[in-house]
Amino acid sequence: YDTLIANIQAHCYLKGDWNPRGENSFAPALCNRIDRNTGGIVIAAKNAEALRIMNEKIKNREIDKYYLCAVCGTPRPKSGTLRGFIFKDAQKNQVYVRKMSCPGAKEAVTEYRTLQTKNGLSLVECRLLTGRTHQIRAQMADSGAPLLGDGKYGAERINRQYGEKGQALYSYRLRFDFPTDAGILNYLKGRQFFVPDVDFVKKYFDFDFIVDI
């Protein structure tokens, strides 16, 4: 199968890091996921101990996750923090943002800053402080700046105008803070991973990134 986890497992097998026929063999597994049609960095574990530690670090918010998105218009204000409560409709696979808590809703917090505005679109960096379903897409749309190409929460007319059929959203930077012990993953403490070339950034903007790695 041509899936992300299948490719990761094949990579580990070819490098000799995983023997699927071994006794009590652990199959490499994903530690986090991103939405369908969203690109970028994901984390995978090659052994059970790494998976346990990484899941704990994600739960305790010891990993900073940064996304880039192209939004319609200009966010107001140009930078800030979006706070609300997200309620998921499982049947529609869609979420709704509420200002006040309600039964079944979970708090969602996203920091954002506008990096550039050009030709009616804005390039925005978002930092997730919580990890809710469709969080960035729903909160940016609720704030009046929907993601370009988002068929679920976006502006249909503008999506057609640009011919975009998938949300312009990319997980482009991860930073491992690890203020507490990380065991076999301590070597990651303070490290950062960054994708410099994102298709929709090159297509619609002329922004140059300077990131200290």
Q: Find, among 36, 39, 20, the residue nearest to 28 by Cα.
A: 20
Q: Report helix, strand or coil for 68.
A: strand
Q: Are strands 39-40 and 169-176 parallel, antiparallel or unpaired?
A: parallel
Contact 171, 67 (CB under 8 A): yes
Looking at 17, 35, 150, 199, which residue is catalytic? 35
Residue 79 host element (H or E): strand 79-89
Phi, psi of 176 (to 5 degrees): -95, 105
Instruction: Give CA–CA dist 206/112, Å, rounded.
Output: 19
> Has 35 been annotated as catalytic?
yes
Instruction: Give CA–CA dist 87/105, Å, rounded.
Output: 4
Contact 170, 40 (CB under 8 A): yes
Q: What amino acid positions are annotated as catalytic residues? A: 35
